[in-house]
Amino acid sequence: MTQKERFGKLFTENKLIMMRLILICAMLIPSVMMAQTKAKVVTKTPAGKTKTSTSSTTAGSTSKEKGKTIYQTYCLVCHQADGGGVPRMNPPFVKEWVGGDKSRLVRLLLKGSNGKVEIDGDKFSNTMPPQPTFTDQQIADVLTFVRSSFGFKASAITATEVKTIRAKTK
Ligand code: HEC
């Protein structure tokens, strides 16, 4: 085998390997892209202030799942990961409120609250901030999450219900 022949053989062999690598890459690209779009959708949800960003249901993401992301972004800091709150500052979630009247819950999120909530005679020094920029879907999602987490089993709240309550609240 001459030097030239050896080079030629090496080249064709490497070419085969290269082609295989390219093929594998080509096969991987769609799945990587899909994973990226999925991640984008998830991170976009809580910050999305426009109606369109959250009103459409993303495949594989339920109202409760989206609500969990919103909870982690906007509520966890005060009500804590287990919904237990912080003594004398932020109330723990209680069935009376969380599992109670939907209108009262939606109004609480839209208007916030300061000193109106009393649980077993306890008052809470912190202020629950209003979330007027939340879309109907975002309010529905986060309340649906809270109502079906932390041991609660209350019914879901829909964006349509929030819309009706919001219209009456203004
Ligand atoms: C800055 C802290 C803070 C944040 C953030 C906050 N809350 Fe609250 N939350 C409070 C306080 C304080 C009260 C009691 C208000 C009062 O005393 O009138 C309260 C009351 C509540 C209640 C009724 C009482 C109970 O514990 O069952 C619910 C339900 C609730 N918050 C849900 C939420 C949800 C959902 C979010 C996120 C969108 C949120 N909160 C964000 C501080 C906060």
For the chain, the structural domain boundaries read: 1-44, 51-169
Specify the CATH number of the domain 51-169. 1.10.760.10
CA of 105 to the centre of ligand 1 (A): 10
CA of 5 to the centre of ligand 1 (A): 77
> In this model, does residue 41 exceed pLDDT 50?
no
Length of the chain: 170
pTM equals 0.72
CA of 52 to the centre of ligand 1 (A): 26
- Calculate mean pLDDT across residues 149-166: 98
Ligand 1 neighbourhood includes 73 CB (under 6 angstroms): no
Q: How many CB atoms lie within 10 A of CB 170?
A: 5
Task: List the one residue out of 145, 85, 80 whose CA is nearest residue 120.
Answer: 85
Ligand 1 neighbourhood includes 115 CB (under 6 angstroms): yes
What average pLDDT does the structure give for the chain?
82
pLDDT tens digit sequence for 51-79: 444 444 445 589 999 999 999 999 999 99
Ligand 1 atom 39: residue of nearest CA: 75
